[in-house]
Structure 1
Amino acid sequence: MARVELDGVRKVYPNGHVGVAGATFEVADGELLVLVGPSGCGKSTLLRMIAGLETISAGTLRIGDRVVNDVAPRDRDIAMVFQSYALYPHMSVADNLGFGLKLRGHDRASVDARVREAAKTLELDALLDRKPGQLSGGQRQRVALGRALVRSPQVFLLDEPLSNLDAKLRMSMRVEIARLHRQLGATMVYVTHDQIEAMTLGQRIVVLDRGEIQQIDTPMALYERPVNLFVATFLGSPAMNVLRGRLLRADGWSLLLDDGGRVALGEAALDAGLDGREVALGIRPEHLQRAEGSGFAPVVEVVEPVGSDVFVNLRHGALPLIARLPPGELPTPGSTLPLRVEARHAHLFDAESGARIEA
């Protein structure tokens, strides 16, 4: 396996559109790194530049100790798994797994040995004689992974490989990929728009928006200390609530909302210089707690009990909110629900730039 190093890598299209604006980061040898962001943020473009399927406009890309900017895809020693399984329907699973090796001139004994090894790793042993049409979606995705696995590449590149699967299969395949990575110790770069996939799979995550890297860190570091409002609201399910207003320091801190409402922050340990500052206050749904007499009582719109949690969708004036509460007596739609903000869990961001305020 090998590390992947990007230094100022850019992609600018002929029409002037900047697909990726100067990406600089390193994927360590054996690391599973996830590129995540909304559609059009540049994550797949970045992956395709690593693969050699997109030309690099500027910057340097290294795989191992070799600069590969101008190296053909087949000579980069990478294997790519696409969103589409792209299996040959007339070939058996065994032939699909071994086809790429045959094209590269490997002898039959070597191909058979590698196919059997990959099939055992992915629990495809009993399916080797079947055609793709006889397989489930999860089994076909495992064959697509196995086709990359048999090549023993330096780097695995996975471009939204689970997006065609249903929710249950996606969950099981996430476990499958995590197990495979741990077993192989392989260097993997994984692209997804699904923040749950990113949080559960990535050892580190690169968050992108409009071609620019917003933050690179471990999943929990991103969740607990997002560098800006975009990262804060993109990661987390349900998404972070955002309250906009002005901080006031009088008998404890409070946030005077834009609509004139007030949210008490109690004895929040904030810098005195923030008094009167316009901010966006982020609070995750699990940190909105029931509190009688709080003075902050949004109206309940929809109640979603999901077993271990209850998601309560609320509205305070024009502001939508969601609280994650423990199961128990459920609030009634149309009623008000007094809430308090757990100030120690609140995140402050600049009202204009969205940058995190270290308070």
Structure 2
Amino acid sequence: MAQVRFDAVRKVYPNGYVGVAGASFEVADGELLVLVGPSGCGKSTLLRMVAGLEAISDGTLTIGDRVVNDVAPKDRDIAMVFQSYALYPHMSVAENLAFGLKLRGQAKADIAARVAEAAQVLELDKVLDRKPGQLSGGQRQRVALGRALVRQPQVFLLDEPLSNLDAKLRSGMRVEIARLHRKLGTTMIYVTHDQIEAMTLGQRIVVLKDGQIQQIDTPMALYEQPANLFVATFLGSPAMNVLRGTLAQTAAGWRFDAGEGITLALGDAGFPAGWDGRTVDLGIRPEHLLPASEAEASLSPVVEVVEPVGSEVFVNLRLGSHALIARLPPDRVPVPGETLPLSIPAGRVHAFDVETGARLVSSAC
């Protein structure tokens, strides 16, 4: 096991495109860190630089106590699991697991012991004689993980390993990977565009956009205290509601004017007095739009589409020209066309600068 440290690491392509702009952070020894962001944000480029598959344009990359900028991939003591299983179809599961070790000249007894251990950990011991074509998608992904596991590397690199699985298998494999990490305690760097995977797997998450790090923190800290509007809207499903308007401090508390005759009563939102009259982007999580009586309502949008998902209901709403979504309990399912009075708990709104997107910090948000 080893820590991985990025010091001002940059990747600039020959055409001048900046894939990664000065990334500086550390992956602790034994940590499972997730790199997340939309396509083209630089997450896979960072992972490939750790693997040695992408040259580093500038900065320093350290694995353990060794700078690896110019170290060949085979000498970095890492193992990588790709989006594609890349299994040899003519080989059995056992042969696929052992192949890399055979190429490295490991002793047969050592290979057999490592394969047996990996197969037991990943519950593959009963399918060792099968070919990949005889396995389910989840089993194939476990074989790909096992092929990396038998290497006993310092660092595991996982590049969107679950993207080819259906929703049920993906959920199950998330649990498998988390369980595997807890058992092994090995340093893992996991790349995904799926914010659910990021939130459920990562001990810490690095959120990227356009080659730049937006924020690094634990999943719940990112969710509750996003650094900017991008992080706020990227993490969370359904995504955060955002309205642009002006704050006003009144005798009855704070109000928010979104235009079109739309005003929201925010009560004691805890904003500084200097924010009176300030134009902001106001963020409200779907779970913080709560059913209310007409007298208590902060807003009264019209129901457009209702999405029951069992334990909760996603309600798509229309407030003037604004689209909103609320996450409600399933005890009373609203119907399209009705007006739905909603309230917002005090201190459960986020304000963002309209120019920079940075989260405006106050005593309550």
TM-score by length of 2: 0.97
2:225 matches 1:225:
yes
- Structure 2 match to 1:267: 268
2:67 matches 1:67:
yes
8 Å CA contact retained: 2:5, 2:25: yes
Provide the rounded CA distance (Å) in 1 between the counterparts of 2:338 and 2:347: 28
Q: Give the drift of 1:329.
A: 2.1
Provide the rounded CA distance (Å) in 1 between the counterparts of 2:99 and 2:278: 63
Q: Give the drift of 1:295.
A: 5.5
Q: Give the drift of 1:258.
A: 3.4
Q: Which amino acid letter does the alignment assign opposite residue 313 of structure 1?
A: N
8 Å CA contact retained: 2:298, 2:344: no
- Structure 2 match to 1:305: 308
2:297 matches 1:315:
no
Q: Give the drift of 1:139.
A: 0.1
- Structure 1 match to 2:178: 178
8 Å CA contact retained: 2:313, 2:329: yes
Deviation per CA, 1:25-66: give whole Å up to 9, x if none.
000000000000001100000100010000000000000000
Q: Which amino acid letter does the alignment assign opposite residue 260 of structure 1?
A: G
Given the alignment, which residue of 335, 338, 346 partners 2:338?
335
- Structure 1 match to 2:291: 290
- Structure 2 match to 1:161: 161
Provide the rounded CA distance (Å) in 2 between the counterparts of 1:174 and 1:268: 38
Q: Which amino acid letter does the alignment assign opposite residue 341 of structure 1?
A: I
- Structure 1 match to 2:257: 256
Provide the rounded CA distance (Å) in 1 between the counterparts of 2:137 and 2:74: 28
Q: Which amino acid letter does the alignment assign opposite residue 310 of structure 1?
A: V
2:241 matches 1:238:
no
Q: Give the drift of 1:115.
A: 0.5
Provide the rounded CA distance (Å) in 2 between the counterparts of 1:122 and 1:64: 27
- Structure 2 match to 1:276: 277
2:47 matches 1:47:
yes
Structure 2: which 5+ runs fail to align?
none
Provide the rounded CA distance (Å) in 2 between the counterparts of 1:274 and 1:40: 36
Deviation per CA, 1:116-159: give whole Å up to 9, x if none.
11001101001100000000000000000000000000000000
8 Å CA contact retained: 2:37, 2:192: yes
Provide the rounded CA distance (Å) in 2 between the counterparts of 1:13 and 1:122: 39
Deviation per CA, 1:138-191: give whole Å up to 9, x if none.
000000000000000000000000000000000000000000000000000000
Q: Secondary structure at the match of 1:87?
A: coil
Q: Secondary structure at the match of 2:347?
A: helix
Q: Secondary structure at the match of 1:313?
A: strand
Deviation per CA, 1:223-276: give whole Å up to 9, x if none.
010000000000011111111100011131010003331011012221100000
Q: Secondary structure at the match of 2:130?
A: coil
- Structure 2 match to 1:348: 351
Structure 1: which 5+ runs fail to align?
none
Provide the rounded CA distance (Å) in 2 between the counterparts of 1:138 and 1:86: 14
Q: Runs ≥4 in structure 1, deviation > 2 angstroms?
A: none
2:2 matches 1:2:
yes
Provide the rounded CA distance (Å) in 2 between the counterparts of 1:326 and 1:150: 46
8 Å CA contact retained: 2:284, 2:348: yes
Q: Secondary structure at the match of 1:180?
A: helix
Provide the rounded CA distance (Å) in 1 between the counterparts of 2:159 and 2:37: 13
TM-score by length of 1: 0.99
Provide the rounded CA distance (Å) in 1 between the counterparts of 2:145 and 2:260: 52
- Structure 1 match to 2:130: 130
Provide the rounded CA distance (Å) in 2 between the counterparts of 1:128 and 1:278: 63
Provide the rounded CA distance (Å) in 1 between the counterparts of 2:63 and 2:193: 25
Provide the rounded CA distance (Å) in 1 between the counterparts of 2:314 and 2:199: 20
